[in-house]
Structure 1
Amino acid sequence: MYFVETIETPGLGNRHYLVGGSTAAVAVDPPRDIDQVIAAAARRGVRIARVVETHVHNDYVSGGLELARVTGAEYVVPAGARVSFPRTPVHDGDTVAVDEGLTLLAVATPGHTPHHTAYVLRETGAPVAAFTGGSLLIGTVGRPDLVEPRLTEELARAQHASAHRLADTLPDATAVLPTHGFGSFCSSAQATADSSTVGEERTANEALVKDADTFVAELQAALDDVPAYYAHIGPVNSFGPAPVDLTPPATAGHAALADRLSAGEWVVDLRHRVAFAEGHVPGTYNFEADGQLATYLAWLIPWGKPVTLLAESPAQLADAQRELARVGIDRPAAAATGGPADWLPSGAAPASFRRATFAGLAGEHPAAVLDVRRDSERAGRRIAGSLHIPLHTLPGRLAELPDGPVWVHCAGGPRAAIAASFLDAAGHEAVAVDDSLDHAGAAGLTLT
């Protein structure tokens, strides 16, 4: 009897897997913080015999190399992947042993990357599950434009063919277990369900219900912005990531925080956006610990720039440090816990800014309304007369903003709070619209 244990990293929208039998297991696309995988194996009472990668990842730093080193497991990587470390290359049709009666069949599934490989779990020779990485996802496929823009159409066609190869050769009951698709920007769209089978995908997946030409044209037209840090993560994974270090960072007092801000370093407040708006250290940025902290902080911060973290508690700080290590922000320069009263000199007043709803916006008719959603989101609907600067471009475009109050919105509130913190730090009068855009029309705002 086999087991599959799912290890989720919801902040990045990915899933990682431990699959095995009674004595041994294989880790599939493990996360950077390998202690989770080791703990899962310990709970099951199995040894990690092999670690397999479906592809060289762009959206997170892999823990595969370190997990193999720590456990003594064989590290299996697609033969076509260009990497700089020793590994066992796997080719289409190769078999990877899992445990007695359990094997993984390597299936070449190019599209997300040219070397992408899926692994079909077979129990006594019968397919029971497919670890599809960034190929066949739930309702969609992995995006084909992350390797080289000039290869996008070619890889999109390969993605269509790969999805059909899996669907045409696997039984309907085969579980589809992808790595991407649960919020990751490596996915062409987001998962339409929490779980799926080959049979369900055969009737619902975009790659399987449309002809190649239609699928490729629509896929290319729908491709969204690529997080800036992806350009760095791929090379990190190809070269071989360093072991993760999750020991606590140095503690910074209010004088050290002031020095870091004066030096132009980033000081990031991890508290909820409501608490930040009510009071914060002037010049700090607000990236909530709950949510897509790693995605948006790594997207906006210049690669390699020192970052200091402010957290409500040691637990919040530790969770954030773990999340950021997954995207290559390995060591915070410093950190502090508590609140503004702990981070400011005695008697110093915290900064603050207003929060509002779309009804409030409609009632005040401000001169400047800033939409920080991505281009693809704004194409669907927008507030008439609003300015548009996508959040990931905002730090470099603050000079484009007019004088006076700027009301900033996104689709639901979290990104507007990040943007408002940048405006506030730059000396603009910001009002963060903490509301769902679905309420804008009912509030009397004109949407186009």
Structure 2
Amino acid sequence: MFFADVLETQGLGNRSYLAGGARAAVVVDPPRDIDRLVEAAARRGVRIVAVAETHVHNDYVTGGLQLARLTGARYLVPAAASVSYDRVPVSDGDVEDIDEGLTLRAVATPGHTPHHISYVLEEDGRAVAAFTGGSLLIGGVGRPDLVEPRLTERLARAQHASAHRLAAELGDDVAVMPTHGFGSFCSSGRAGGERSTIGAEKSSNPALLQDVDEFVGQMLAGLDDVPAYYAHMGPANASGPGPIDLTPPRRADAGEIAGRLAAGEWVVDLRSRVAFSEGHVAGSFNFELDGQLATYLAWTIPWGKPVTLLGASAEEVTRAQRELARVGIDRPAAAAVGSPADWLRPGERPSSFPRGTFADLAAALSADERVVVLDVRRDGERSAGWIEESVHIPIHRIHQRLDEVPDGTVWVHCAGGMRAAVAASMLDAAGRRVVAIDDGYAAAAEAGLALV
């Protein structure tokens, strides 16, 4: 009897899989931190005999090459992918033996990338699961615009054809097990859901319900910004990432923290946005550990800029270090644990700023205070509606565009509060008066704010 275990990387919205039988297994699309998969295989009592990549990933650094080297497994990579390391090149129709009666069949599914391969797990010749990577997702497909702008429409049409191929060749009961689509920016539209089958996708997935022109038109119209760090992931994966280094970073004292800030480096406070607003090291930025830390920090930071991490505990720093390594921010320059009292030099006082709600904003506007409303949601979110006369700068651009924020007290909002806290910390570091709106955007209408 086969098994297919899910390994979630929630901060990036991705899944990897360990699938196999009684003695052996394959890993599909492993993350950088492969120790989790080694431990999962040990719990199952199976040997990893193959590691399979559906494509050269654009959103995270793969651990596939290192996992294959560590375990001696065969490293399956699409033959059409241009990579600089030895691997087993996989083409449409190729079959890999995994365990007794269990095989992995390659199905060419271009669209997310030109070389994309899905893998169908077959037990005694019957398809039981399809590892679809960035092709057919739960309720959607992977976005086609991450490779080259000139290829985007062609790849969108290929996505439609690939989805239909999988639906035509596989039975309705076959499990659909994608890598992307759980909050990943590699998915187009609002793909998501915990589990699905080919039959369920036939009844709900736009790629399988719309004709190709309608599907492509809607997909291209709905594509949002691409995280800036994606530009570094593909080349890293094509060249062959080195092993992850999760040894503890060097500890920084208050003097070193001040020196790194003075040098223009990034000091990132991992604590909650509530704790940060109440007191923090002046000049530090707040990226909550329990938010999408890796995505938004990697998206925002000038690539290669040294990062010092501040956490309430060593465990917080360790978690953050692991998350950042998944997207190629390999080694923090330094780290410190504790509270602002531990991170400030004698005589220095912590900085702070207020938090508020949309009702508080409405009151401030009614009082005719000098208020600037800053919306840091993405373009696609704002297109559905915004607060009248608000300034719009998406969170991933705010660091480069601080000079565009008008004078006055800046009330900054997003959809829920996490990104507003990031932007507020950057504005505070720049010396602006700021209020972070820690509230759901639906409350703006309830507060009586004028919406467009």
* TM-score calculated relative to the size of structure 2: 0.98
d(CA) in 1 for partners of 2:130, 2:263: 50
Equivalent residue number for residue 439 of structure 1: 443
Q: Note the alpha carbon deviations across 1:67-119, whole angstroms, 9 max, x for none.
A: 00111111010000000000000000000111110001100000000000000
d(CA) in 2 for partners of 1:230, 1:254: 34
Q: Note the alpha carbon deviations across 1:278-305, whole angstroms, 9 max, x for none.
A: 0000000000000200000000001111
Equivalent residue number for residue 272 of structure 1: 272
TM-superposed CA distance for 1:400, in Å, is 1.0
| Cα RMSD after superposing both structures | 0.7
- Aligned amino acid, residue 278 of structure 2: E
Alignment map for 1:265-304 (pairs within 5 Å): 265-304=265-304
Q: Note the alpha carbon deviations across 1:140-167, whole angstroms, 9 max, x for none.
A: 0000000001100000000000000000
Q: Could you say what secondary structure the match of 2:446 adopts?
A: coil
TM-superposed CA distance for 1:347, in Å, is 3.3
Q: Note the alpha carbon deviations across 1:403-432, whole angstroms, 9 max, x for none.
A: 221000000000000000000000001100
- Aligned amino acid, residue 156 of structure 1: A
Equivalent residue number for residue 206 of structure 1: 206
Q: Could you say what secondary structure the match of 2:39 adopts?
A: helix
Contact 2:182 2:193 in 1 (8 A): no
Equivalent residue number for residue 410 of structure 1: 414
Equivalent residue number for residue 216 of structure 1: 216
d(CA) in 2 for partners of 1:316, 1:288: 10
d(CA) in 2 for partners of 1:347, 1:260: 18
Q: 2:430 aligns with which of 417, 426, 433?
A: 426
Equivalent residue number for residue 178 of structure 2: 178
Alignment map for 1:44-443 (pairs within 5 Å): 44-365=44-365, 366=369, 367-443=371-447
d(CA) in 1 for partners of 2:87, 2:80: 12
Contact 2:61 2:233 in 1 (8 A): yes
Contact 2:141 2:191 in 1 (8 A): no
Q: Are 2:38 and 1:34 equivalent residues in the alignment?
A: no
Q: Could you say what secondary structure the match of 1:219 adopts?
A: helix
Contact 2:189 2:219 in 1 (8 A): no
d(CA) in 2 for partners of 1:291, 1:167: 35
d(CA) in 1 for partners of 2:291, 2:181: 16
Q: Note the alpha carbon deviations across 1:237-293, whole angstroms, 9 max, x for none.
A: 000001100000000000000000000000000000000000000000000000200
Contact 2:281 2:340 in 1 (8 A): yes
d(CA) in 2 for partners of 1:190, 1:81: 28
d(CA) in 1 for partners of 2:111, 2:399: 33
d(CA) in 1 for partners of 2:56, 2:316: 30
Contact 2:410 2:434 in 1 (8 A): yes
d(CA) in 1 for partners of 2:254, 2:121: 54
d(CA) in 1 for partners of 2:154, 2:191: 24
d(CA) in 2 for partners of 1:79, 1:193: 31
d(CA) in 1 for partners of 2:190, 2:6: 18
Q: Note the alpha carbon deviations across 1:354-390, whole angstroms, 9 max, x for none.
A: 1000000000115210000011110001000100011
d(CA) in 1 for partners of 2:302, 2:37: 30
- Aligned amino acid, residue 429 of structure 1: R
d(CA) in 2 for partners of 1:93, 1:297: 40
TM-superposed CA distance for 1:192, in Å, is 3.9
Q: Note the alpha carbon deviations across 1:316-372, whole angstroms, 9 max, x for none.
A: 110110000000000000000001001001332100001000000000115210000
Contact 1:138 1:178 in 2 (8 A): yes
Gaps of 5+ in 1: none
d(CA) in 2 for partners of 1:5, 1:175: 12
Gaps of 5+ in 2: none
d(CA) in 2 for partners of 1:331, 1:193: 33
d(CA) in 2 for partners of 1:315, 1:71: 28
Contact 1:181 1:189 in 2 (8 A): no
d(CA) in 2 for partners of 1:447, 1:139: 30
TM-superposed CA distance for 1:446, in Å, is 1.0
d(CA) in 2 for partners of 1:328, 1:239: 13
d(CA) in 2 for partners of 1:417, 1:340: 17
Equivalent residue number for residue 14 of structure 2: 14
Contact 1:4 1:19 in 2 (8 A): yes
- Aligned amino acid, residue 147 of structure 2: V
d(CA) in 2 for partners of 1:221, 1:320: 35
Q: Could you say what secondary structure the match of 1:406 adopts?
A: strand
- Aligned amino acid, residue 108 of structure 1: A
